[in-house]
């Protein structure tokens, strides 16, 4: 801005050329002395956070609606790895956001002490939106990290809270972007003097973010699996080279799964109910598919599955072409004991009732005697220890 240019009205009083101090005579002089409480840093981190939160919101919605399909939307069963990618972006991106958010909060926290705390109704509304944004962002990242670490320390159901908070955060984010757009634009378009310290701070935050991404992305991107030292799960580590979230013992299905009288029944809106023993299933045409399990927690692992096509078994029972199908597990409790298979998915020739994985009969922990495996579908919906297929 040249000396004779228009006077720029600043939204908040500043402590110097571009500082974010409280600029109030009553606060202790020199309390926020770091040159890093700075508009320019806040602006760049804000841009990065705006991008990462938008990406998390979009990929989070994909995951939510895949797991809770609405009548009007049909998720395709292809490409096979689509969900693996969107959920990988969600979880790895979320983890990589943690240092950026911490850096941003540290940069702007002097504003908490701005004085007077409320200057007008508009100012109050703006601060309320910022409060919702900060509180909601911290909540999303903390619960997200605890959840993928399998530490259910919170008294509420994670997915519901995470889902609804996302709308609050995203709404507050839009308000904040509208509010800060001009100032951010101006800030990043001007050339700073004396930028070394700021640049180092931003590079450190970006470096920490990149390091987290590099050491976790291997949990879903197999070529980098060896780098995934920070990931709670790694592809290839577990029985039959596949991770296990919930064991058969934990699920309480060991005896039922080993019962020689086990049958897979197909029932509901069918022309004839069928009950298939293991031998019956083995006598049907066996198909192979290389498909990933793509867990909502961001890890995924590919495997070679072998078994019968779900659509072949449904045809055997004479299920209608528009059937909605639910598979049910021997597990007697919990929300993952059943899952719905939409027409696009059960008609897909890659959707199998798997009896084998990686060349061996399924291990008990991988769903013996029979599990569902389908393309482009969250891991929680790849139900293990099946005993019933219900057509509705």
Binding site for Mo ion (CB under 5 A): 295, 379-380
Task: From the list ligand MTE, Mo ion, none, pick the one residue 221 interacts with, judged by a Cβ distance below 5 to 8 Å according to partner type.
Answer: none
Query: Would you list the DSSP string of 350-378?
Result: T-EEEEEETTEEPPGGGTTT-EEE-SS-B
336 binds, among ligand MTE, Mo ion, none (CB under 5 to 8 A by kind): ligand MTE
Position among 293, 327, 353, 389 found at the interface with ligand MTE (CB under 6 A) = 293
Which contiguous run of DSSP H or E holds residue 104? helix 82-108
329 binds, among ligand MTE, Mo ion, none (CB under 5 to 8 A by kind): ligand MTE
Smallest separation, CB 336 to Mo ion (Å): 8
Give dist(CA 390, CA 323) in Å, integer: 10
Minimum CB separation of residue 329 from ligand MTE in Å reads 3
27 or 222: CB nearest ligand MTE = 222
Which of Mo ion, ligand MTE, none interacts with 246 (beta carbon under 5 to 8 A by kind)? ligand MTE
Assign residue 19 a region (left: φ > 0; alpha: ψ between -120 and 50; beta: otherwise): beta
Question: Does 366 help bind ligand MTE (rule: CB under 6 A)?
Answer: yes
Nearer to ligand MTE by Cβ, of 77 and 329: the residue is: 329
Rounded to whole angstroms, the Cα distance separating 45 from 344 reads 41
Q: How far is the CB of 301 from ligand MTE (least distance, A)?
A: 8
Q: Residue 295, interface with ligand MTE (CB under 6 A)? A: yes
Closer residue to ligand MTE (CB): 301 or 342: 301
Enter the tokens of residue 43: 């602006």
The answer to whether 104 and 202 have CB atoms below 8 angstroms apart is no
Question: Regarding beta strands 386-391 and 264-268, do their DSSP bridges make them parallel or antiparallel, or are they unpaired?
Answer: parallel
243 near ligand MTE, rule: CB under 6 A: yes
Q: Return the sign of the alpha-carbon dihedral for residues 221, 226, 231, 232.
A: positive
Out of Mo ion, ligand MTE, none, what residue 385 binds, judged by CB under 5 to 8 A for its kind, is ligand MTE
Q: Between residues 310 and 380, which has the closer beta carbon with respect to Mo ion?
A: 380
The window from 75-83, 101-109, 154-162, 237-245 that contacts ligand MTE (CB under 6 A) reads 237-245
Residues 306-365 that bind ligand MTE (CB under 6 A): 329, 331, 336-337
SS3 category, 339:
strand
Does residue 302 interact with ligand MTE by CB under 6 A?
A: no
Partner from ligand MTE, Mo ion, none binding residue 97, C-beta < 5-8 Å depending on class: none
**What does the alpha-carbon distance between residue 158 and residue 147 come to, in Å, rounded to a whole number?**
7
Each residue 10-29 as x (binds ligand MTE by CB under 6 A) or -, in order, gives: --------------------
Among 82, 379, 387, 391, binds ligand MTE (CB under 6 A): 379
- Kindly state whether residue 384 participates in binding ligand MTE, applying the rule CB under 6 A: yes
Helix ranges restricted to H, 120-277: 121-148, 158-189, 196-216, 248-251, 254-258
User: Considering only 45-53, 55-63, 202-210, 238-246, which stretch makes contact with ligand MTE by CB under 6 A?
Assistant: 238-246
Using CA atoms, how far residue 39 sits from 14, 19, 108, 115, 192, in Å, is 9, 6, 8, 18, 11
Pick from 131, 97, 138: which is nearest to 111 by CA?
A: 131
The string over 101-121, giving b where at least 16 C-beta atoms fall within 10 Å of a residue's C-beta and e elsewhere, is bebbebbbebbebbeeeeeee
Pairing relation of β-strands 325-329 and 338-341? Answer: antiparallel
- Give bridge partners of residue 291 from the DSSP assignment: 303
Q: Which positions lie near ligand MTE, rule CB under 6 A?
A: 243-246, 251, 293, 295, 329, 331, 336-337, 366, 379-380, 382-385
């Amino acid at each position: 801005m040249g000396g004779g240019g228009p006077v720029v009205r600043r939204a908040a009083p500043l402590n110097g050329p571009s500082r974010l101090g409280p600029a109030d005579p009553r606060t202790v002089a020199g309390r926020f002395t770091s040159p890093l409480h700075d508009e320019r840093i806040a602006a760049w981190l804000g841009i990065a956070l705006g991008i990462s939160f938008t990406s998390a919101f979009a990929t989070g919605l994909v995951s939510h609606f895949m797991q809770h399909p609405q009548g009007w939307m049909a998720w395709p069963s292809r490409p096979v790895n689509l969900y693996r990618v969107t959920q990988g972006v969600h979880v790895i991106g979320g983890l990589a956001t943690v240092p950026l958010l911490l850096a941003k909060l540290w940069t702007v926290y002097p504003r908490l002490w701005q004085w007077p705390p409320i200057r007008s109704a508009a100012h109050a509304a703006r601060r309320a939106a910022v409060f919702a944004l900060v509180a909601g962002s911290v909540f999303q990242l903390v619960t997200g990290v605890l959840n993928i670490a399998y530490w259910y320390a919170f008294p509420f159901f994670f997915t519901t809270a995470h889902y609804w908070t996302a709308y609050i955060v995203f709404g507050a984010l839009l308000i904040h972007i509208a509010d800060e757009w001009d100032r951010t634009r101006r800030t990043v378009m001007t050339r700073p003097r004396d930028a070394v310290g700021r640049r180092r701070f931003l590079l450190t935050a970006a470096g920490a973010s990149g390091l987290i991404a590099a050491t976790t992305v291997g949990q879903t991107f197999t070529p980098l699996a060896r780098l995934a030292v920070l990931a709670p799960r790694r592809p290839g580590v577990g029985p039959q080279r596949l991770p296990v979230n919930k064991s058969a013992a934990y699920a309480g299905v060991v005896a039922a799964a080993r019962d020689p009288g086990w049958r897979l029944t197909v029932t509901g809106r069918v022309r004839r109910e069928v009950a298939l023993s293991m031998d019956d299933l083995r006598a049907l045409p066996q198909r192979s598919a290389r498909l990933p399990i793509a867990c909502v927690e961001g890890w995924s692992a590919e495997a070679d599955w072998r078994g019968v096509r779900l659509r072949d078994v449904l045809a055997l029972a004479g299920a209608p072409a528009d059937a909605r199908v639910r598979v049910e597990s021997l597990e007697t409790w919990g929300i993952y004991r059943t899952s719905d298979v939409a027409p696009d998915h059960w008609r897909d020739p890659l959707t199998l009732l798997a009896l084998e994985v990686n060349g061996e009969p399924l291990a008990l922990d991988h769903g013996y005697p029979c599990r569902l495996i389908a393309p482009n579908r969250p891991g929680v919906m790849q139900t293990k220890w099946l005993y019933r297929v219900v057509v509705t």
